Amino acid sequence: MKQQHWLLLASIAAISLVATALLLDEQREFESALQNVKDTQVALATAVAADFETRLQALEEDTAANVDTHIESRIPELLGGAMALEHQGSRILLVARPDQDRLLTTEGRPVASKTLLAALRSHTPGVILPREESPRFGLPPRIAIAGLARVSAQSGSYGVVVLVSGERLRARERHAQLRFLLGVGLVTLIVTSFGGVAARQQRRKLEVARALELSDFERERERLLAKADKMATLAALSSGIAHEVATPLGTIMARIEQVLPANAHDARASSALRVALEQVERIQAIIRGVLSLARGELPPLVSARPESVVGAAIALSKHRFSEAGIAVALDTQGELPSVGCDPPMLEQALTNLLLNACDASAPGQTVHVSVRVDAATLCFVVDDEGVGVNRETVARAQEPFFTTKPEGRGNGLGLAITREIVAHHGGQLRLESRAPARGTRAVIALPCAAGSR
């Protein structure tokens, strides 16, 4: 009897410890999902701010417009298509006026929030609002997650905020915890009820109960991960995609490093594995760079040869050109100066332009790539022989979510991301028609004297 008593106590203690550990793990999963939502809101705010800035600059060029006085009535116009991101009682867009202690909704309604205004002044990209502030914005009394971005204009500094309610995330997390606690309580009740059974039967029941508990937890964990993943990939922005790609890349890298020593005697296989490993590391570097852009961080610049950068971009897109039956011609002008850049990110920007040129070309045509020095500027030029673009398309091509490609062929983010990469390098991205020749010309212009930051 004494032995059974100790077995019962040990069983209850073991279940309690397991429950505590699993609850802590559940909390970590929730915090990870919360961080993913914050990263997504930061990326959305960055994209919306870029569009807001473009429209605000156009408005300021109209000398008859008094931007500071009529900002309330201009918000729908300045936010443009980004207002489609709003959802009743779920996500809202806000704009902070310069030197004012309030924020404006898309309806022009002023709302005070010390948390958001303090975050804008301190250039904090993401912040979580306490539940007592959420109802001010028409959101449920739950925590709210905000992504913030700053916009500088002639009329002053503005802040753009994308605010989303965390009600669904918190409800799912609490529901999962409740179900888990009920499951653990049920198992504990069963073990307590059969505490007087022989040691062998008791041990067997405990093993079955633990197996079921772990199985239920794994299913619940997978369900929460799948839902967190859907939230992270909201709007198909870079931060969510990077979160998805990082895990399989880590697995691929681990597997390559695992089999590489076993193939050391095979020079061909070893070389192929090292090339694959280098490409995985390159993708990881690009992911880190995209996330840095989403957070507004400046990339680390190093001195690189322009020929090497453009050559790497052509190599990355070569298979697409081969499949489409389109040729690529490279032309460089004599001795070129080095350029200060983040090579993987600049290569990705050039790759985006090359793929756009490939999509715009017909089989048998040629995409011409050249690198030249124009005054104190190093220019990467990509010319295609497609149908070309009109003025309206040129004016809107770099806007987030704008695309002229058929549905399923593009999401309107390629040129927007390229523009951000170039801007973070202190350069400019230009698009223009090649008239009277057919096709489109894309130019990345960077300062020749750009150095490491």
SS3 of 334-364 = CCCCCEEECHHHHHHHHHHHHHHHHHHCCCC
Answer for the pair 231, 243: CB distance below 8 angstroms, yes or no. no
Residue 301's pLDDT is what? Answer: 81
Q: Is 48 helix (H, G, I), strand (E, B) or coil?
A: helix
- Calpha distance 224→30 (Å, rounded): 8
Degrees, nearest 5: CA angle 119-121-127: 10
Q: Is the dihedral of CA 281, 284, 290, 295 positive or negative?
A: negative
User: Which residues pair with residue 144 across a beta bridge?
Assistant: 129, 165
Task: Say yes or no: do domains 67-165 and 302-447 share a fold.
Answer: no
Torsion of CA 405, 409, 415, 420, to 10 degrees: 150
Global pTM exceeds 0.75: no
Cβ atoms of residues 157 and 52 within 8 Å:
no
Q: Rounded CA gap, 233 and 242, in Å?
A: 9
Enclosing H/E stretch for 93: strand 91-96
Please state, in angstroms and rounded to a whole number, the distance separating the CA atoms of residues 346 and 421.
Answer: 7
Predicted pLDDT of residue 79: 82
- Tell me what the mean pLDDT of segment 412-438 comes to: 78
List pLDDT tens digits, range 279-318: 777 676 666 666 665 555 666 788 888 888 888 888 888 8
What's the residue count for the chain? 453
Question: Sorting pLDDT into bands at 50, 70 and 90, what band is 1?
Answer: very low
Using alpha carbons, list the distances in angstroms from residue 48 to 78, 110, 266, 390, 416.
10, 20, 52, 24, 11
Under CATH, what is the fold of the domain 67-165?
A: Beta-Lactamase (3.30.450)
With 50 as the cut, is the pLDDT of residue 115 above it?
A: yes
pLDDT of 419 above 80: yes
The answer to whether the beta carbons of residues 343 and 302 sit under 8 Å apart is: yes
pLDDT, tens only, 196-247: 555 566 667 777 778 788 777 777 666 544 433 433 333 345 555 665 666 6
Better-scored residue on pLDDT, 394 or 176: 176
CATH dotted code for 302-447: 3.30.565.10
Which residue reads 């009920």 in tokens? 182
Tell whether the model's pLDDT for residue 255 goes beyond 50.
yes
pLDDT in tens, 428-440: 888 888 777 788 8
Strand partners of residue 433:
440
28 confidence band (pLDDT: 50, 70, 90): confident
Task: Give me the residue spans of the domains in the chain.
Answer: 67-165, 238-294, 302-447
Cβ(143)–Cβ(129) below 8 Å: yes
In the chain, the largest separation of any two C-alpha atoms, in whole Å, equals 98
Q: How confident is the model at residue 66 (pLDDT cuts 50, 70, 90)?
A: low
**What whole-number distance in Å separates Cα of residue 223 and Cα of residue 438?**
52
Q: What are phi and psi of 412, to 5 degrees?
A: 75, 20
If you average pLDDT over residues 98-109, what whole number do you get? 80
Contact assessment for residue 120 and residue 127, using Cβ atoms and an 8 Å cutoff: no
Contact 285, 299 (CB under 8 A): no
Higher confidence at residue 427 or residue 237? 427
pLDDT at 72 (0 to 100): 67
Upstream peptide bond of 436 is cis (omega within 30 degrees of 0): yes
Higher pLDDT, 323 or 240: 323
